[in-house]
Amino acid sequence: MMKAAYKGGIVFFMILAMIMVGMDTAEAGEVRIPEPLSNTVKLDSDDENQKGIELQPGVSAEDITAQLGMITGEGHGLTPEYLAKTPTRIQAAVMFLRLKGLEQTALNYQGKDNFSDADEAPWAASILAYLKAHPELGFQGIGNNKFNPNGKITAQAYYKILLETLGYTYDEDFKWDNTMEFAESLGLGRVAEAYEFTVSDLAVATVEVLSVKMKGSEKTLLQALMEQNVIDDELLSSITQP
């Protein structure tokens, strides 16, 4: 009887431990795919730093960033597995360059000055050199002339980039330690608490910032991108209400 109680206790604590670490009792080797965090993201807002933009019904952050060409999937499109992945720093950089309409410019860049660890992502050598030559884009690296291209991007690091996209200057308008607080003051931060910053989270953060006003301007980032012909009327009409 004591043996049975002892075994029962072991089973109980094993189950409790699995619950605590977010596991289930499925077959060994099964991969649990978390649901994308975005669902449907609205650009309309009462925040004074934002201008309301009404989206088409059912349009998600992933839909918008896919139509912007930022995220393309891996072989089978925007699968749950793909959206649940955490982008590397260089992958996030490429997605961001696509949003700005600068990917091809970066690919064609011929500058030789580069980060010392550019050889860790040889396929992106020209992109890394371009990012180094244009620190105003927000990808200054991690210090000591390193970029850490294969390291995972974090929510804080991506929001820093978005703030600089809005025209705010790092180390002047905000510091690393108050990045999220400053972003929140502008109405940003929906995925600020994401434990692992996924492709889906990146899409949500990107859609958030589209409706935020540029520094010192009444124009939103979306309007600025339209003026730069990065986003055209046809694309805009496909995601927003008339």
Two structure tokens written together for 223: 């309007």
Q: Is residue 107, in this structure, part of any structural domain at all?
A: yes
What is the Cα–Cα distance from 89 to 142, expressed in whole angstroms? 11
Mean pLDDT of 51-60: 60
Q: Is residue 47, in this structure, part of any structural domain at all?
A: yes
Q: Is residue 2, in this structure, part of any structural domain at all?
A: no
- Evaluate if residue 88 carries a pLDDT over 90: yes
Q: Is residue 150, in this structure, part of any structural domain at all?
A: yes
182-219, pLDDT tens digit by residue? Answer: 999 999 988 988 888 999 999 999 988 888 999 999 99
Chain mean pLDDT for the chain: 77
Domain that holds residue 81: 41-239
Total domains in the chain come to 1
